[in-house]
Amino acid sequence: MGKRGPQKTPTVRLAGRGSRKVKDRENEPMPKKYSAIPPKPRHLQGDGALFYKKVSKKLVNVGVLTVVDHEALVVMCEEYQQYKEAEKLCSTLLIKTSNGNVIQNPAIGIRNKAREALKKSMSYFGMTPSSRASLSIKVNPEQTEDKTKRFFKVAT
């Protein structure tokens, strides 16, 4: 039988909330973060490859993608590729069977399952609004502009 109860909240999220539980996890191993976009796996083609390029760049810039998470990112890209392929097959909502009965296009069910799997994968990386609300991300000072420059002229 599997573990019961909700999953443990990641230490990074607890620290962002200011939780006292962070002190209990001081010796928790933290995987190395990618400083550059990791190479795309060879088996990703088409929509999956484009999604990998776009998403991995964003995750590296935000500092969320670690060496351990790379396989999860690849799985998410595969799910995206399956979703896009199923979406192409959904040109019609209903189809006729060989008996003449009208039924829902089976590709719609495949697309919906792929969409749910993709949404679940995206939440692991903080790519949905609800998962992002509890994610702690440190912004580089170089990326933020000085907001006073917009309103005040600097005297020289």
Identify the residue whose tokens are 């590729």.
81
Residues 89, 140: Cα–Cα separation, whole Å: 43
Amino acid in the structure at residue 6: P
Q: Kindly give the residue spans of alpha helices, DSSP state H, lying in 3-89.
A: 11-17, 46-62, 70-88
What's the pLDDT score for residue 77?
94
Of 65-79, 110-124, 139-153, the poorest mean pLDDT is in 139-153
Is residue 49 very low, low, confident or very high in pLDDT (cuts 50, 70, 90)? very high
Sign of the Cα torsion 68, 73, 76, 82 reads negative
Q: Which residues contact 61 (CB under 8 A, 6 or more apart)?
A: none
Q: Tens digits of per-residue pLDDT, 72-123?
A: 999 999 999 999 999 998 888 888 989 999 999 888 999 999 999 999 888 8
Q: Which residues contact 45 (CB under 8 A, 6 or more apart)?
A: 81
**Whole-prediction pTM:** 0.65
